[in-house]
């Protein structure tokens, strides 16, 4: 079903500079991007060195690397200060534990400058860092530390109760970031030790293929997988941050993702810092007003967020936007979930900016299919494969399908940031590959121009009366209805039709959940998309179940609907 809107939004003034991009993308090979790193000449590899010290030792020494703001703090750190603070953190970790190269160190705390010092400090020490969302409960923390045999964790006094140290025999130390922490055999007062620590540290040198971060996936489709990335991912993160995020020397870049999600490290830390850019980090919870205020106060120019956030901002109404000066924004991007054309339309209307969709996964470690450079945007499409990446639609045996056929979205294996293993699960790792193809688990088609159109997770594609329907198209149509702010669509088994389409929808304020409205919504999809795509059942919800990274959990909707076990809920929002 290829009925998605195909309007093209052309390049606009102030958009990416085509000449810049073409210079580097022509005949591009990933090796071309290696030259910039110190290790290219020294042979000594460490991603934290390249992200921090390389700039601290250059003309960027006094350039701001990080702005941080929450309700209580407002701080700025230059690259030089970042070098000192991450050195201190590395010293604290080293002096108070037996942590060494390759050991797993977890970070379990809300966003704060200390999180970034600790994460980069852990990398300087050569450990593999596993960032966790602060909202995880004890079970989720236990599973991840147990699975990866973590040696240490960094957390806060508020979260300490959720670290079941007595059940984790391999866990040697708990570094607590707080005021007057009481130290024990196991517990170290991180801030106190930071004050005493030297700001000189001899970075531990690694191999390109040594581990860097261990990210557990979002848990949208099942039990999260421990995805290990290596140092070499930096090559792709550096280059894609240039092509896709379009980072330039003078930019103020804001990635709204928490480091508990791969976006919050790959493009919340590495992409910008490898490029010597200035980032804003906003702590605390989402509030529409705070977000717009931050863009105005810091003069944010490049903004990377997610559909769920854009939909929340949309839901808050456009009147609010006029109260802020958002004119500095020049490049806006989205990731994590399908970006509905309705949201792209809204972005043009209110920010006068095209929202650039980007598709990639925890497992890919970096951007894969994106609206990059200055390419024209087709709303509803994820864009094209970035240079250096070969993407295709394949069938279940790995045969490449012709344009406009729905199938498995696949990538030719071997790109720099590709995961190198699933922790403790070789079988799972192997199951991603058919021959030379990495098969993503997403269903999509590619059009004649090489644009990819997301249809849904392979398991979520609905077969109704012999038609294959991607939930995304139905959800996007539903979002165009004036009453609907969010929608999740599933297939529900039906003896006659195979499956029927069931939609769960949340309404904008002021709309009543009536039977007439249901009928109106049904007609709306029928007329706007196709009769067979109209949901036979509609259920109103105050909100939809989502992961911490903001993804609608369709498997949970399905389990609720069919009275099945809900499976792993460790990553679900409250």
- Binding residues for ligand ATP, rule: CB under 6 A, are 217-222, 224, 335-339, 357-359, 361-362, 382, 440-442, 454, 457, 549, 551
Among ligand ATP, Mg ion, none, residue 382 binds (CB under 5-8 Å by kind): ligand ATP
Among Mg ion, ligand ATP, none, residue 337 binds (CB under 5-8 Å by kind): ligand ATP
Among ligand ATP, Mg ion, none, residue 237 binds (CB under 5-8 Å by kind): none
Give me the least distance between CB of 221 and Mg ion, in Å please.
6
Give me the least distance between CB of 91 and ligand ATP, in Å please.
33
Among ligand ATP, Mg ion, none, residue 380 binds (CB under 5-8 Å by kind): none
Dist CA 276 CA 36 (whole Å): 12
Among Mg ion, ligand ATP, none, residue 488 binds (CB under 5-8 Å by kind): none
Give me the least distance between CB of 216 and ligand ATP, in Å please.
8
Q: Are 102 and 157 in contact (CB under 8 A)?
A: no
Give me the least distance between CB of 220 and Mg ion, in Å please.
6
Give me the least distance between CB of 136 and ligand ATP, in Å please.
14
Q: Compute how many residues bind Mg ion; rule: CB under 5 A.
A: 1
* Options 138-146, 215-223, 345-353, 389-397: segment touching Mg ion (CB under 5 A): 215-223
Q: Are 246 and 252 in contact (CB under 8 A)?
A: no
User: Cα separations (Å) of 448 from 384, 404, 410?
Assistant: 11, 7, 17
Contacts of 371 (CB under 8 A, 6+ apart): 354, 356, 357, 358, 377, 381, 382, 383, 384
* Subset of 169-198 contacting Mg ion (CB under 5 A): none
Give the x-and-dash track for 216-245 against Mg ion (CB under 5 A): -x----------------------------
> What letter would DSSP give residue 560?
H
Nearer to ligand ATP, 83 or 144 (CB): 144
Among ligand ATP, Mg ion, none, residue 126 binds (CB under 5-8 Å by kind): none
Nearer to ligand ATP, 194 or 262 (CB): 262
Nearer to Mg ion, 336 or 341 (CB): 336
Give me the least distance between CB of 380 and ligand ATP, in Å please.
10
* Options 87-95, 212-220, 237-245, 384-392: segment touching Mg ion (CB under 5 A): 212-220
User: Cα separations (Å) of 394 from 124, 242, 367, 414?
Assistant: 40, 29, 20, 17
Dist CA 57 CA 52 (whole Å): 9
Dist CA 240 CA 233 (whole Å): 11
Give me the least distance between CB of 29 and ligand ATP, in Å please.
25
Give me the least distance between CB of 244 and ligand ATP, in Å please.
12
Nearer to ligand ATP, 49 or 551 (CB): 551
Give me the least distance between CB of 493 and ligand ATP, in Å please.
22
Q: In whole angstroms, what separates CA 467 from the centre of its chain? A: 32
Give me the least distance between CB of 261 and ligand ATP, in Å please.
6
Among ligand ATP, Mg ion, none, residue 230 binds (CB under 5-8 Å by kind): none
Among ligand ATP, Mg ion, none, residue 338 binds (CB under 5-8 Å by kind): ligand ATP
For helices 233-243 and 18-25, what crossing angle results, to 10°? Answer: 150
For helices 79-95 and 113-124, what crossing angle results, to 10°? Answer: 70
Backbone angles phi, psi at 364, to 5 degrees: -85, -20
Give me the least distance between CB of 215 and ligand ATP, in Å please.
8
Contacts of 101 (CB under 8 A, 6+ apart): 125, 126, 127, 204, 206, 210
With CB atoms as reference, the residue minimizing the distance to Mg ion is: 217
Nearer to Mg ion, 217 or 443 (CB): 217
Among Mg ion, ligand ATP, none, residue 381 binds (CB under 5-8 Å by kind): none
Give me the least distance between CB of 267 and Mg ion, in Å please.
17
Helix H or strand E segment including 426: helix 426-430
Nearer to ligand ATP, 124 or 215 (CB): 215
User: Cα separations (Å) of 264 from 202, 371, 461?
Assistant: 26, 19, 29
Asked whether the CA dihedral 305, 308, 311, 312 is positive or negative, the reply is negative
Give me the least distance between CB of 518 and ligand ATP, in Å please.
27
Tokens of 489: 């669509």
Nearer to ligand ATP, 522 or 555 (CB): 555
Tokens of 405: 């056929």
Nearer to ligand ATP, 47 or 344 (CB): 344
Dist CA 393 CA 65 (whole Å): 39
* Options 1-9, 149-157, 214-222, 385-393: segment touching Mg ion (CB under 5 A): 214-222
Nearer to ligand ATP, 115 or 266 (CB): 266
Among Mg ion, ligand ATP, none, residue 335 binds (CB under 5-8 Å by kind): ligand ATP
* Subset of 41-60 contacting Mg ion (CB under 5 A): none
Give CA angle at 187 (190, 80), nearest 5°. Answer: 15
Cβ neighbours, 10 Å, residue 260: 27
Nearer to Mg ion, 91 or 217 (CB): 217
Nearer to ligand ATP, 126 or 366 (CB): 366
Cβ neighbours, 10 Å, residue 348: 16
Nearer to ligand ATP, 236 or 549 (CB): 549
User: Cα separations (Å) of 420 from 240, 434, 458, 514, 574?
Assistant: 19, 16, 23, 51, 32
Q: How many residues does the chain have?
A: 574
User: Cα separations (Å) of 342 from 109, 193, 347, 354, 481?
Assistant: 35, 50, 9, 12, 10
Dist CA 383 CA 373 (whole Å): 11
The three-class DSSP label of residue 193 is: helix
Nearer to ligand ATP, 125 or 355 (CB): 355
Q: Which residues bind Mg ion (CB under 5 A)?
A: 217
């Amino acid at each position: 079903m290829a009925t998605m809107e195909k309007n093209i939004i052309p390049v606009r003034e102030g958009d990416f500079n085509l000449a810049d991009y073409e210079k580097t993308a022509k005949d591009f090979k990933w090796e071309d991007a290696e030259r910039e790193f110190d290790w290219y000449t020294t042979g000594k590899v460490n991603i934290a060195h390249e992200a921090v010290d390389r700039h601290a030792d250059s003309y960027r020494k006094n350039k701001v690397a990080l702005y941080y703001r929450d309700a209580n703090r407002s701080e700025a750190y230059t690259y030089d200060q970042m070098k000192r603070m991450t050195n201190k953190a590395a010293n604290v970790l080293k002096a108070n534990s037996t942590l060494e190269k390759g050991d797993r160190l977890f970070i379990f705390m809300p966003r704060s400058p200390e999180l970034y010092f600790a994460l980069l400090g852990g990398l300087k020490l050569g450990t593999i860092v596993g960032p966790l969302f602060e909202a995880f409960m004890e079970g989720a923390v236990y599973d991840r530390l147990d699975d990866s045999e973590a040696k240490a964790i960094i957390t806060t006094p508020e979260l300490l109760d959720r670290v079941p140290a007595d059940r984790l025999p391999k866990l040697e130390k708990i570094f607590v970031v707080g005021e007057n922490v009481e130290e024990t055999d196991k517990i170290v007062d991180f801030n106190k030790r930071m004050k005493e620590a030297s700001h000189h540290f001899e970075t531990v040198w690694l191999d390109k293929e040594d581990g860097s971060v261990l990210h557990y996936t979002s848990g949208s489709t099942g039990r999260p997988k421990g995805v290990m990335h290596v140092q070499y991912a930096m090559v792709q993160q550096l280059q894609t941050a240039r092509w896709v995020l379009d980072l330039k020397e003078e930019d103020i870049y804001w990635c709204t993702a928490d480091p508990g999600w791969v976006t919050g490290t790959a493009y919340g830390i590495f992409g910008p810092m490898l490029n010597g850019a200035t980032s804003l980090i906003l702590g605390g919870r989402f509030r529409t007003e705070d977000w717009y205020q931050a863009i105005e106060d810091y003069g944010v120019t490049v903004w990377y967020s997610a559909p769920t956030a854009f939909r929340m901002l949309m839901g808050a109404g456009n009147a609010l936007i006029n109260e802020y000066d958002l004119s500095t924004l020049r490049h806006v991007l989205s990731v994590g979930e399908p970006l509905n054309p309705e949201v792209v339309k809204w972005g043009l209307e209110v920010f006068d900016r095209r929202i650039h969709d980007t598709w990639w996964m925890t497992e890919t470690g970096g951007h894969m299919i994106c609206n990059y450079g200055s390419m024209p945007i087709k709303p509803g499409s994820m864009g094209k494969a970035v240079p250096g990446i070969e993407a295709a639609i394949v069938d279940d045996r790995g045969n490449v399908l012709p344009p406009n056929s729905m199938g498995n979205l696949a990538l030719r294996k071997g790109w720099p940031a590709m995961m190198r293993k699933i922790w403790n699960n070789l079988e799972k790792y192997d199951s991603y590959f058919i021959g030379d193809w990495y098969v993503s688990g997403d269903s999509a088609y590619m059009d004649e121009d090489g644009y990819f159109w997301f249809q849904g997770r392979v398991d979520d594609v609905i077969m109704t009366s012999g038609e294959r329907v991607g939930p995304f198209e139905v959800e996007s149509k539903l979002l165009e209805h004036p009453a609907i702010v969010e929608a999740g669509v599933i297939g529900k088994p039906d003896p006659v039709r195979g499956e029927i389409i069931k939609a769960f929808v949340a309404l904008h304020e002021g709309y009543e959940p009536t039977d007439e409205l249901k009928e109106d919504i049904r007609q709306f999809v029928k007329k706007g998309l196709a009769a067979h795509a109209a949901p036979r059942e509609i259920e109103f919800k105050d909100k939809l179940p989502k992961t911490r990274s903001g993804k609608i959990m369709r498997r949970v909707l399905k389990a609720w609907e069919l009275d099945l076990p809900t499976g792993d809920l460790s990553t679900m929002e409250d």
